[in-house]
Amino acid sequence: GSLVEEALLSRGFICENIGDEPTFSRSGIYIPGDFEGCSRIDVTFSREVDIYNWAVVVEPGPWDHFPITFGIKLAGEEQSDEGEQYDHTTLQGRSYQSTNWDLFKEAVDRCPFPEEPITTAAELERRYDNLICIIQEAGIEASRPRGTRVGRDKKNGVVQWWDDELREKRAALKRACRRGEKALGKRLRSEYKSLIEKKRLGAFEDFVDNLNSVPDRELYGRLRQSCRKPTRLLGGDSSLEMTVDRLCSHYVGTPGLGGHRGVARWNAEDRALNANRGQSRTSFAVEEVQQALEGKRASNDKSPGMDGVRWRHLLELPRSALEEVTRVINASVSLGVVSRPWKQAQIVFLDKPGKDVTKENSLRPVSLTASFSKLIETLVIHRLEPYIAKLHSGGKQYGYMKGRSTVDLVREMRKWQNDPKNKHWCVVATDYSDAFGRLDHSKIHEELEKQGVTDDIRIWIKGWLEDREARVKYGNMEKWCGCYARGCPQGSVLSPALFVLVTEALGSSVVSAVGNERVRVRWLSYADDSYLLMGWGKKIDPSRASRSVKEATEKIAETAARYGLRLETTKTNIFTNRAQWFEGIDGPIICKELKVLGILLTASGSFLPHVRYRVGLARQCTNRMMRYARANSGLSPNLCKLLYMKIFIPVLSYGLELFGSHLALPSYRRVVDPASADLLRRSYGLRKSTPLDYIQL
């Protein structure tokens, strides 16, 4: 406190102690004369100031109260714009939901675009800047500023029930009140309240009824109260700046670097098109660009990068603008240069539930990158599809593969368990530390060249990976960082494809080194979740099997290190039907149950533990949704049953292809039926002893 007082007084603030009563006390807690158990401010420092980013911190932290964080701008001072080094932020202050897309198209169509080809890096930079400025200006013209919303939509935009009918009913009620018509006013008030309840319930039922089109991750993200943007100090920090520096160093890169506009650093300032490549230049047609935009229409409303341009802004562009987009993309790939805004990300942090709040790993970084960059990445992936198809035929990788899912991987693992040749078996489930963020760039270039990826695509990917920057936002602080020269950038479209392409050889190396005539091996992966399956026949010495597993784990760690990956040995699991054989192995966890991509497997082959786990998760998700429904529209029996069908059943049914027939067994029904009965009784407010035979879903 004394340090704060000294700092404020030194800047010309005046200390005002206004009487005996506190200037501020937390509502509902303060009792006059009671000096315990309440939050109060009894000293005010004042001067001509502006307060911005005012917020009460409710996240858990190393404090015993709710701190208030805010920024102060003194009279005559300008608010710091650290990190705001260029102008591509104009759309951030506009209401995207209010955009009139017809006006947007007209505004873009009025602007002429040059038709000359782009032959230099400087020309590419200028044409791209001009294109983005036109999109931003059209977006501004077609939308209103934030904070001028009209109506009573929910703030999160999920349930919108206010409409013209309600507006007219409210206007009629106000007219009756102004005229003093009490009887009419009473009747209209009753009708108005009833109509509100009807609209709210109807809108929410429509929302729930359409949940099949809402991705689970997005749905539960809306409901999960714990995943909010935190503002707390990490353990041992005395200022928010120290915490931001720690987060930058842990997740991103060197604090204080990056954020300069200007032209990106090119390998050569002016590259001639397709010079010294020895291969034909990659070229994209306007129709291919349009198809790429249409293919990700579901991403229309996703958060944009720092320029504020969303996917739909690109999707709604007229033909003339799309042709300019195509020229910019083709020039970028042909010249082998990547504009600096495509290599910049804005990073915010969300809470990780259940983690130590004083540690860096209690926060999850989320990167927001430019939509234009994602469009080019999508087109580059199209050129990588022949090489990805080879992975599909290889049968090792199941992540980011068309026609493959988590259930397919688990099914293959189950076949391995039940194979008569594998009398004794184990699965080494690896755990890499920040796999996507640690992949060695040199390995990416090496593997792409080995697989025969064309030179221009490889050179473009190399430029896209180099010299990346990020603007980290935490609380009311922003700081630029130069990203570490490793890993696949988070938040990008291209990163998953690069990861699976490059790490395919890792599994092949392990299998060739570990497999022999005594042990059968197979490698399965779902992105960075990798599993080494090992099997032995009837006659096998337990000590030899244990030695084989230990050597396999060491080989995985050694091979992963060549790719820049670090195997967390203490988090690696050995799932087996012979647990006693491997108890002497130091590091890995020996287990008879293993959760594989959300499906709980057991060494005995029973799915009963998985069903218990899914029932608990289904109850948890349904309860969250019921609390959400109660806050929005109130609960009714019909709405509860709707939640049962749209939430409880889908969550419970995850992996149904594997265990569906088991649900007919009495032991499984004893787990599932009570949970269903409990939800139905809650829907109708019935006692536990009430029979449910007469209730029809």
pLDDT tens digits for range 446-473: 999 998 999 999 999 999 999 999 999 9
pLDDT at 94: 82
Measured distance CA(360)–CA(534) in Å, rounded: 36
Q: Which of 523, 525, 465 is nearest to 501 (CA)?
A: 525
pLDDT over 80 (residue 570): yes
Q: Residues of the chain with pLDDT > 70: what percent? A: 76
pLDDT band at 643 (very low <50, low <70, confident <90, very high): confident
CA distance 558 to 417: 27
DSSP output for 394-458? HTSB-TT-TT--HHHHHHHHHHHHH-TT-SEEEEEE--BTTHHHH--HHHHHHHHHHTT--HHHH
What is the per-residue pLDDT across 73-106, written as a single tens digit (0 to 9) for each?
A: 655 544 443 333 334 446 877 888 889 999 999 9
**Global pTM value:** 0.74
What span, in angstroms and rounded, lies between the C-alpha atoms of 479 and 258? 9
| Residues 162-179: tens digit of each pLDDT | 777 888 888 888 888 888
Model confidence at 16, pLDDT cuts 50, 70, 90, reads low
Please report the pLDDT score of residue 266 as a whole number. 42
Give the pLDDT score at 100: 92
What does DSSP assign to residue 94?
B
Dump pLDDT digits (tens) for 174-222.
888 888 888 898 899 899 888 887 887 777 666 666 555 555 445 555 5
Tens-digit pLDDT profile for residues 314-324: 999 999 999 99
State the average pLDDT over residues 407-428. Answer: 91
Average pLDDT, stretch 54-60? 58
361: Cα separation from own chain's centroid: 16
**Backbone dihedral region of 459: left (phi > 0), alpha (psi from -120 to 50 degrees) or beta?**
alpha
Q: What percent of the chain shows pLDDT beyond 90?
A: 32
Given this model, what pLDDT does residue 636 score?
74
pLDDT at 226 over 50: no
For 51-55, 271-275, 561-565, which range has the lowest pLDDT when averaged over its residues? 271-275
Structure-block tokens of residue 668: 């499984």
Predicted local confidence at residue 219, as pLDDT: 52
DSSP tag of 697 = -
Segment 246-263 shows an average pLDDT of: 70
- Residues 645, 649, 654, 659: what is their CA dihedral angle, to the nearest 10 degrees? -130
Question: What is the rounded CA–CA span in Å between residue 582 and residue 424?
Answer: 12
Between CA 376 and CA 444 the distance in angstroms is: 19
Sorting pLDDT into bands at 50, 70 and 90, what band is 291? very high
Shortest CA distance to 655 belongs to which of 568, 597, 590? 597
Query: d(Cα 546, Cα 580) in Å, to the nearest integer?
Result: 10
Calculate ∠ Cα 247-251-253, nearest 5°.
Answer: 90
Identify which of 143-147, 343-347, 535-539 has the greatest average pLDDT. 343-347
Nearest to 514 by CA among 567, 541, 571, 554: 554
C-alpha 471/C-alpha 67 separation (Å) is 25
Q: Please report which residue ranges of 281-418 form alpha helices under DSSP H.
A: 286-295, 311-315, 319-335, 371-394, 406-418
Residue 498: pLDDT band with limits 50, 70, 90 = very high
Q: In angstroms, what CA-CA distances link 429 with 190, 346, 361?
A: 62, 33, 22
Residue 123: pLDDT above 60? yes
